[in-house]
Each structure stands twice: as C-alpha cells, then as structure tokens.
A = this chain, B = another copy of it.
C-alpha cells in the first residue's frame, strides 16, 4: 500500500493533521517540525492522495477542457497553451472533444461537473438553446476560448474575428479585386458568423454589393477547401481571389488551384486565417490573419484561475487584436494598410 499521512504521523510522532499542515505549509507550524516532517515524508516516498484531498477541501485543482477537435492544429495549439499554463498554476486538465456536437458538449459538461472540476474552458457550439440554459445555471467559473455564445460574450477570450476578416477582405478590395470567392466555416460556431460579418463589412465599406453565390459553405477542413475550389472552377465561376475561413481550407484551395494550373498569387490570390505553423511552409507561403493560439489558451487559463480563486472577480470579454500576415499567396506584400494601427 502507498504511504499516507498516517504512516508519516506514526513515524514522526506528530498527529496526522500536523503532518498534513506541515506538508502544505498551510498554517503555523514551527520550522523545525516542518523540516523533519518533510524530510521523512520525502524519504518514505509520500505522494499525496489528491482525490481524498479534493473531496474534503471541495477543490480539485482540475480544469475541464471542452474542445471541438483536439487533432485540429488550431485547437492543438490552444490546448498546448492551456496545458502549459495550467501545469504551471498547479492545475491538471481533463480533456474532452465534442466534434462540434451540442449534445456531446452537454455530456461533457455533466461529466466534468461530476468530476468536480474547479472550472471549465470551452470551445462552444453557437447558441444551442439547451446548452445556453445549462451555462446560465453553472455554478463554477467558465471561459469560452476563441468563440462566444450570445448573451455571454463576457465569458469569452476572443481574437477579433470580424475585424480580422474585414482587414483581409479590405486588403484585397483595395487592391482591385472584385470577384472574391469566400469559403466559410462550420455553421454552428461563432467564428463563422463573425468572419462572414467581417467579409460583408469590408464590402460595405467599399460601397460594394456582395454576390452570395461567391460564398460557399464548408466544414473547415483541408479536403473541403480543395473540393469547394474545384467545384467553383467546374461551375465556371470566375474569381481573382479566394478568402478562406481558415488556413486549412486555404491549404486545400492552394492544392486545387495548382492542379488546375492556376498560379498563386498571379492568377488567383489566396488568404487564410489563423496562421497555423504549417502555413508558412506552403508553396507559396500562405498569407493569413494571425491568431495567437497558444496565448489564447494561456489567457483562458489565467482568467479562469482568477475566477476560481476570487469568485468576485468580474467577467469581461477579452478581445485580442488580429494582425495580417502578408506572404507569398497574395501580391501586395508590403503593409500599405495601416488602418488598424
């Protein structure tokens, strides 16, 4: 059997409680006893039973992470940031993927509550009624990372989806593009909605009407980017630029354009979103919108931990500034657009 407090107590002659306190440097314990106890605990190879501790103290030092898809490079980086920050703050993380299904999200919340997590970091499905009320009744702190749901924006860490997408499209419009193919993301997440809004905002700012037939829907994966562009070309749609909801789509788009002997950026310019690590290794290097993924995860944990440790700490939307990363998949690669600075 593993060493427990009682064993250390027996060995040192102190009470279980004193041992517990000495190991936590919790209370007024003399330096001498503290040292003795720690020494012996160490010699005996004591590993605290966190489960027992959690039960009594009503704090598990565990955070539940509800991700959409941890294999998606975007979330993989966010989760990396979360894990790193949590580990340093002495929290452990329980990870669950929802595959963008509202029902899975519900199950995940229930499961994590049952596991007594101290807080949640969530990439939520957009405005699912049932989940909305679930969130409203939640008694532990929670942060939405990179997304939001209506009425709870103040629980979110965001990265300027509207603004970022507007900047990207504005950049292209400004350089004369009038036939821009837009490949949108999954229907049920806030990012898709916001980036679409950014797209439209840019058109309006230029007093241009948007042609809805140039807006295609997708699930946001590489295969989709490839397929959508193929389809557009097959339908004879003419366009001089492709703007994608994210880099994955853009990478697929690049592939299709190449196979159809269209040169990027000379025949068609391509814009991504997210700035994934792999994007600068594409051929050509992908122009995109920077999103601080790792930082996003870290920030989410920072905020969450503050809420956990101080229930009075007020919720407030954190909105990070997006930034264009102009590379080879677009032409005008000098930063002639300083509007956002």
Contact = CB atoms under 8 A, between A and B. Distances in A.
- Taken together, the copies of this chain in the complex come to 2
Interface in A241-299: 251-252, 254-255, 258, 277-278, 281-283, 294
Contacts of A95: 79, 83, 93-95
Given A80-B97, A92-B115, A95-B93, A252 B226 contact: no
Given A47-B110, A51-B60, A278-B278, A94 B92 contact: yes
Contacts of A277: 222
- Greatest chain B CB density within 10 A among A70, A77, A83 is at A70
A41 to B, nearest CB: 13
A84 interface: yes
A111 B91 CA distance: 10
A13 interface: no
Contacts of A114: 47-50
A295 to B, nearest CB: 13
Nearest to A253: B281
Nearest to A110: B47
B278 A222 contact: yes
A239 B70 CA distance: 38
A255 B281 contact: yes
Contacts of A52: 55
A71 B60 contact: no
Contacts of A110: 47
A72 B80 CA distance: 9
Instruction: Place the interface of chain A in its size category.
Output: 35 or more
Contacts of A16: none
A20 to B, nearest CB: 14
Contacts of A94: 62, 92-95
Contacts of A76: 70-73, 76
A51 B94 CA distance: 13
A337 interface: no
A116 interface: yes
Interface string A114-144: 1110000000000000000000000000000
Contacts of A258: 283
A144 to B, nearest CB: 20
Given A50-B115, A51-B54, A51-B55, 17 more contacts: A47-B114, A49-B116, A50-B114, A51-B51, A51-B60, A51-B116, A55-B55, A70-B70, A71-B77, A73-B76, A80-B97, A92-B115, A93-B95, A222-B277, A251-B278, A252-B281, A255-B281
